[in-house]
């Protein structure tokens, strides 16, 4: 019978059982001996295939590391030694049975089953009961379980018990006996683990767990390749103006050098990542920190790392693909490379750095949220939080310095030593940007604002200088501002940028992030807001006073109208005016015959029949 050899198949090589580990062309293959573990290459002509129908084929898959399997293999080896002595005539049946502690009939059976080609494995004692992975339920019930698995094992809430519940309903509908939860669970677990992961947690989780990732990003020198990404810090911060208020978790944008693992630049914000975050972190990476561009409050920490990377690896977020950023990077010969969709592992270096920061530093701060609710447990993050945004910024700068001086697990040295070691060996420094002022402007946030006769209104401040007079009232112009210093802005007039100082402001914040936090979390009452309870009560009293006054005025007006009508009526009677001149309000046709009655005469009696 023909048989196709595949990886994992057991074969006999020179009388020894081996397993195929690799196919090399059509004539050679690599095998590993079953007992010795030796690995070598043989020709197809030097092996003999073991029929798949052979009862022995399953025996070779015994795991010697398993205690039960190891005991069976040792017992089989002892029996094989006795059987071989019997076959050589050194022992008879009775002696052999006594040595093995079995009856003659059992020994005859062992001797019959023993194969010198297969060795002791041919008489390994088989465990009673069904084989692992086998099932005794009918194919119809098995198909019901499969259908329920396909239909109801979906989403994060997917569970074996949910599928079992549906199997019970389906079996009841068809008048069948439902299998137990354990049986249904076992049948579900017979499906491919990757398929189960995909159905339960989605493609991204399945890729993370089962997709091969042999590729490695290698950098030959500092600044040859860098990686950038954002993360929300596992920490709750409090408001600067009122520490009883929780303002949320900050965001950090990082850019690291792959060769040395140095953090070239970063930007911290209480708001989701934006173009500003990317511009500021990349700008901070490029220029020496002591020049004063892109950074603040770093005088007390050592930060000698700078330079523009040749390649920056990014994900596909819109802030990384912004044309403004790409144009600025192209101007300075920085090449952006975007990871493929759904390939998070391609940003592995910075992902590991972020994880290290969280687990070794942030998770020890008061108010940490940890990575997930399971890790947090009963820890009350809201109650124990204490740091404000400005305090966290200062702490983070110091923690970056600590990180640079700590031995890295992959480098076997600190990032600082890796950086300095390379440049010291070359006797050079990172490449400097010849016009840092222009670079600073190119990577600053950009806005479009009109120029009023009172100046330019940006971020709650008003800016003005003589240099913007010629563009006043002529539409919007391009404005650049420094998030670390709001004391001035840069306005584009023609082809040049003019520095415009602040003249007034509605706040005293110099830092843009502090201004944004205050605007969101410390909203002041607008002009006209009544804050005094007595004043609010007086508003209600004044409303009642006006309401009563209007009611009295309407009543007085009605009385005046009635008096005027009576006066007109009396004047009309005295003047003998005709009926048509009487006001409609007092004229009554039934009384017209009595208007000239002489009340001095006795009354006249009328016949009721007239």
Tell me, what's the pLDDT at 47?
77
Task: Provide CB contacts within 8 A for 41, sequence distance 6+.
Answer: 24, 28, 29, 30, 31
Tell me, what's the pLDDT at 99?
87
Counting as low any pLDDT under 50, the low residues of the chain are 1, 53-57, 65, 214-215, 345-347, 581-582, 586
Residue 281, φ and ψ in degrees, nearest 5: -70, -40
Is the dihedral angle over the CA atoms 195, 196, 200, 203 positive or is it negative? negative
> How far is 428 from 223, CA to CA, in rounded Å?
13
* Beta bridge partners of residue 497, listed in sequence order: 492
Q: Are 478 and 448 in contact (CB under 8 A)?
A: yes
> How far is 24 from 34, CA to CA, in rounded Å?
20
DSSP 576: T
Tell me, what's the pLDDT at 282?
93
pTM of the predicted structure, to 2 decimals = 0.57
Residue 14, both tokens? 């020179």
Residue 101, both tokens? 């502690």
Tell me, what's the pLDDT at 55?
45
Q: CB atoms < 10 A from the CB of 78, how many?
A: 12
- Going by C-alpha positions, the residue among 71, 58, 64, 67 that lies closest to residue 37 is 64
Q: Are 413 and 407 in contact (CB under 8 A)?
A: yes
DSSP 119: B
CA dist 519 → 242, 250, 505, 515 (Å): 13, 16, 13, 6
Is the dihedral angle over the CA atoms 568, 573, 577, 579 positive or is it negative? positive
DSSP assignment string, 23-49: EETTTEEEEEETTT--EEEEEGGGEEE
Q: How many residues does the chain have?
A: 610
> How far is 240 from 387, CA to CA, in rounded Å?
9
Tell me, what's the pLDDT at 25?
66
> How far is 171 from 151, CA to CA, in rounded Å?
16
Residue 286, φ and ψ in degrees, nearest 5: -80, -35
CA dist 198 → 14, 158, 184, 207 (Å): 45, 11, 19, 9
Assign 300 to helix, strand or coil: coil
Tell me, what's the pLDDT at 133?
55
CA dist 369 → 234, 293, 311 (Å): 5, 33, 34
Q: In 471-591, which ranges are continuous DSSP H helix?
A: 512-521, 533-575
Tell me, what's the pLDDT at 222?
92
- For 328, the enclosing helix (H) or strand (E) is helix 323-331
- Going by C-alpha positions, the residue among 177, 122, 189, 120 that lies closest to residue 153 is 189
Assign 189 to helix, strand or coil: helix
* Beta bridge partners of residue 564, listed in sequence order: none
Half-sphere exposure of 229 (CA within 13 A, CB side): 21
Task: Provide CB contacts within 8 A for 392, sequence distance 6+.
Answer: 233, 235, 237, 250, 268
Q: CB atoms < 10 A from the CB of 502, how many?
A: 19
Q: Are 405 and 416 in contact (CB under 8 A)?
A: yes
The region, left, alpha or beta by phi > 0 then psi within -120 to 50, assigned to residue 16 is beta
Q: Are 276 and 267 in contact (CB under 8 A)?
A: yes
Tell me, what's the pLDDT at 315?
87
Residue 185, φ and ψ in degrees, nearest 5: -60, -45
Assign 392 to helix, strand or coil: helix
Q: Are 197 and 206 in contact (CB under 8 A)?
A: yes
Buried b (16+ CB within 10 A) or exposed e, 515-530: bbbbeebeeeeeeeee
Assign 21 to helix, strand or coil: strand
């Amino acid at each position: 019978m023909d048989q196709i050899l595949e990886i994992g198949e057991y074969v006999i090589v020179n009388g020894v059982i081996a397993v195929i580990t690799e196919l090399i062309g059509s004539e050679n293959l690599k095998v590993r001996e079953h007992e010795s573990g030796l690995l070598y290459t043989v020709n197809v002509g030097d092996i003999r295939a073991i029929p798949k129908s052979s009862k022995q084929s399953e025996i070779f898959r015994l795991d010697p590391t398993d205690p039960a399997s190891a005991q069976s293999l040792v017992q089989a080896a002892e029996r094989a030694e006795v059987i071989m002595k019997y076959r050589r005539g050194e022992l008879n049946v009775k002696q052999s049975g006594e040595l093995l502690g079995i009856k003659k009939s059992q020994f005859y059976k062992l001797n019959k089953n023993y194969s010198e080609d297969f060795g002791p494995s041919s008489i390994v004692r088989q465990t009673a009961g069904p084989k692992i992975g086998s099932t005794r339920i009918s194919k119809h019930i098995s198909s019901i379980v499969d259908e329920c698995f396909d239909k109801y094992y979906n989403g994060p809430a997917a569970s074996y018990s949910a599928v079992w519940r549906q199997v019970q309903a389906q079996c009841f509908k068809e008048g069948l006996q439902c299998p137990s939860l354990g049986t249904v669970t076992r049948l579900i677990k017979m499906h491919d683990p990757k398929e189960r992961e995909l159905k339960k947690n989605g493609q991204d989780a399945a890729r993370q767990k089962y997709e091969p990732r042999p590729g490695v990003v290698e950098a030959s020198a500092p600044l040859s390749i860098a990686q950038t990404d954002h993360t929300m810090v596992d920490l709750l911060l409090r408001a600067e103006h009122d520490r009883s208020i929780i303002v949320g978790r900050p965001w950090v944008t990082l850019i690291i050098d792959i060769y040395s693992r140095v953090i070239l630049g970063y930007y911290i914000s209480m708001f989701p990542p934006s173009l500003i975050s990317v511009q500021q972190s990349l700008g901070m990476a490029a220029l020496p920190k002591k020049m004063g561009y892109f950074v603040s409050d770093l005088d007390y920490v050592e930060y000698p790392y700078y330079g523009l990377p040749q390649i920056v690896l990014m994900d596909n977020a819109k802030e990384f693909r912004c044309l403004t950023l790409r144009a600025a990077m192209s101007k300075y010969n920085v090449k952006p490379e975007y990871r493929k969709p759904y390939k998070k592992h391609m940003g592995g270096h910075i992902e590991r750095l972020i994880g290290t920061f969280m687990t070794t530093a942030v998770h020890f701060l008061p108010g940490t949220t940890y990575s997930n609710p399971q890790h947090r447990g009963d820890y009350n993050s809201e109650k124990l939080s204490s740091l404000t945004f400005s305090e966290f910024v200062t702490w983070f700068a110091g923690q970056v310095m600590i990180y640079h001086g700590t031995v890295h697990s992959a480098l076997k040295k600190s990032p600082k030593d890796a950086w300095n070691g390379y440049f010291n060996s070359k006797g050079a420094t990172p490449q400097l940007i010849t016009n840092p002022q222009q670079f600073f402007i190119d990577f600053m946030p950009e806005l479009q604002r009109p120029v009023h006769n009172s100046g330019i209104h940006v971020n709650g401040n008003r800016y003005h200088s003589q240099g913007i007079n010629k563009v006043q009232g002529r539409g919007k112009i391009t404005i650049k501002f420094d998030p670390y210093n709001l004391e001035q802005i840069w306005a584009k007039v023609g082809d040049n940028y003019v520095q415009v100082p602040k003249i007034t402001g509605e706040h005293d914040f110099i830092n843009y992030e502090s201004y944004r936090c205050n605007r969101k979390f410390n909203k002041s009452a607008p002009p006209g807001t009544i804050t005094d309870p007595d004043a609010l009560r007086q508003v209600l009293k004044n409303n009642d006073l006006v309401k009563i006054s209007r009611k009295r005025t309407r009543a007085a007006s009605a009385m005046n109208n009635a008096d005027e009508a009576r006066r007109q009526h009396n004047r009309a009677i005295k003047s003998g005016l005709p009926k048509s001149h009487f006001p409609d309000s007092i004229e009554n046709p039934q009384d017209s015959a009595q208007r000239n009655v002489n009340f001095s005469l006795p009354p006249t009696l009328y016949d009721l029949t007239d």
